[in-house]
Amino acid sequence: MSQRTLLIPLSSFFIAHLLISGVVSTTFTLTNKCGYTVWPGILSNADAPALSTTGFSLQKGESKTITAPASWGGRLWGRTYCSQDSTGKFSCLTGDCGSGKLECSGTGAAPPATLAEFKIDGYGGMDYFDVSLVDGYNLPLLVVPQGGSGQNCTSTGCVVDLNGACPSELKVTSTGGESVACKSACEAFRSPQYCCSGAYGTPDTCKPSSYSEIFKNACPRAYSYAYDDKTSTFTCASADYQITFCPAPNTSQKASQEQNSENTNTNTNTPLINSTMVYEGALSQNGASPSMYGNVLGSHVTAGIVSFTVAIWQWRQLF
Ligand SMILES: *[C@@H]1O[C@H](CO)[C@@H](O)[C@H](O)[C@H]1NC(C)=O
Ligand SMILES: *[C@@H]1O[C@H](CO)[C@@H](O)[C@H](O)[C@H]1NC(C)=O
Ligand SMILES: *[C@@H]1O[C@H](CO)[C@@H](O)[C@H](O)[C@H]1NC(C)=O
């Protein structure tokens, strides 16, 4: 008797929880609008299970939907200029995960790479997500939440081509001389000031640099350095996510988002696209062809930005 009276409220609580949270899984739909093949890579956080795939190819125009379990956390990115050598070893000029295979199988992207980071149901029923250029940039990427709710449940990303506009000291070029990626100042100069490490390891001591500002001006909603949280972390309840590589730079996207009456948070007025720069025409889409590429040393600076932000958020709630 006493057991039954306990079980009934427990099971109805569980059902109510399912109804309120609405979903027990989240889908990511990846679409390649680039004029070339992109090989997405997926890395789950240490505490999250691997998804059904950790790397695959996406022809131009192609889409693929992947389901992530409840509370999944991890990152997705696009690898470019990938090929297989005569020994069967698979590698990519940008975003390579070093696995030697199509699947990344638990390894992350070598910088520079544009990253989409997620923590599903990170805190208070909200998914936390961002697009990060902290590890540099390799291709335009847009995240659009579908069907979610919340005050700052909105699109984020870096929709311009920063490869052409990249300062020469940060530029990564193919042997053919083509700009294929743009390093972060941290990766290029390895100084604590740019990497927000050592004496610069706090939000108070690590400030934007002239380099991070180049990224921020071009892509105002993306993370441009480690402590760029306020304008770069977005939250949605019960959303699915569209991730598009090379979305057409589209200035009316901004206008259509501002019509969304749910977005009352002033921070989300940060434009997705810096129309000043788009109209200047400084940033042009460039297609490209595979070629050789120098050594990309990996410092996974952004590793865990989302979980860090969530941790800080949870910590703040204690006080
Ligand atoms: C857009 O870019 C210009 C030029 O770099 C910069 O002065 C301005 O602050 C940027 N706007 C936003 C919203 O980031
Ligand atoms: C979105 O909401 C989170 C949590 O409330 C906050 O930390 C973040 O700064 C917000 N982001 C924007 C861009 O408003
Ligand atoms: C630009 O965005 C608007 C709103 O999202 C959409 O209706 C329009 O078709 C887009 N235009 C292009 C060229 O992609």
CA-angle at 185, arms to 189 and 210, nearest 5°: 120
Least distant ligand from the CA of 272: 1
CA 251 to ligand 3: nearest atom: 1
- C-beta of residue 112 within 8 angstroms of C-beta of residue 215: no
CATH class of 24-283: mainly beta
What's the confidence (pLDDT) of residue 248? 83
Mean pLDDT, residues 188-217 taken together: 96
Mean pLDDT, residues 103-119 taken together: 98
Quote the mean pLDDT of the chain: 82
The proportion of the chain whose per-residue pLDDT surpasses 70, expressed as a percent, equals 73
* pLDDT reading at 298 higher than 60: no
Instruction: Indicate the top mutation candidate among 153, 234, 236, 315 to test ligand 2's pocket, ranked by most ligand atoms within 8 A of CB.
Output: 234
CA 247 to ligand 3: nearest atom: 14
What's the confidence (pLDDT) of residue 275? 77
Least distant ligand from the CA of 212: 1
Domain parsing of the chain, residue ranges: 24-283
What's the confidence (pLDDT) of residue 269? 75
Q: Of 6-15, 218-227, 298-307, which has the strongest mean pLDDT?
A: 218-227
* pLDDT reading at 266 higher than 80: no
Task: Determine if the peptide bond prior to 203 is cis (ω within 30°).
Answer: no
Distances (CA, A) of 298 to 32, 110, 184, 200: 25, 5, 12, 20
Chain centroid to CA 306: 10
Which sign, positive or negative, has the C-alpha torsion 296, 298, 301, 307? Answer: positive
Which of 84-93, 112-121, 154-163, 264-273 has the weakest average pLDDT?
Answer: 264-273
Q: What is the pTM of this model?
A: 0.79
Please tell me which residue, 167 or 317, carries the higher pLDDT value: 167
Q: How far apart are CA 24 and CA 71, in angstroms?
A: 9
* pLDDT reading at 117 higher than 80: yes
Least distant ligand from the CA of 271: 1
Which sign, positive or negative, has the C-alpha torsion 306, 156, 54, 109? Answer: negative
DSSP code for 173 = E
What's the confidence (pLDDT) of residue 273? 87
**How much distance in Å is there from the Cα of 144 to the middle of ligand 1?**
22
Which of 112-121, 179-188, 257-266 has the weakest average pLDDT?
Answer: 257-266
DSSP code for 152 = T
**How much distance in Å is there from the Cα of 177 to the middle of ligand 2?**
40
- C-beta of residue 194 within 8 angstroms of C-beta of residue 184: yes
- Model confidence pLDDT, tens digit, residues 124-140: 999 999 999 999 999 99
Instruction: Indicate the top mutation candidate among 252, 254, 285 to test ligand 3's pocket, ranked by most ligand atoms within 8 A of CB.
Output: 252
- Model confidence pLDDT, tens digit, residues 217-242: 999 999 999 999 999 999 999 999 99
Please tell me which residue, 7 or 44, carries the higher pLDDT value: 44
Output the residue whose Cα is nearest ligand 2's atom 4.
235
pLDDT category of residue 274 using cuts at 50, 70 and 90:
confident
* pLDDT reading at 6 higher than 90: no
Which of 114-128, 204-218, 236-250 has the weakest average pLDDT?
Answer: 236-250
- Model confidence pLDDT, tens digit, residues 21-40: 455 799 999 999 999 999 99
- C-beta of residue 66 within 8 angstroms of C-beta of residue 103: no
- As a whole number of Å, the end-to-end CA separation of the chain is 41
* pLDDT reading at 290 higher than 60: no
**How much distance in Å is there from the Cα of 277 to the middle of ligand 1?**
7
Least distant ligand from the CA of 252: 3
Instruction: Indicate the top mutation candidate among 250, 273, 278 to test ligand 3's pocket, ranked by most ligand atoms within 8 A of CB.
Output: 250
Q: How far apart are CA 157 and CA 151, in angstroms?
A: 18
Which of 6-15, 125-134, 194-203, 252-261 has the weakest average pLDDT?
Answer: 252-261
Three-class DSSP category at 5: helix
pLDDT category of residue 278 using cuts at 50, 70 and 90:
low
Mean pLDDT, residues 42-51 taken together: 97
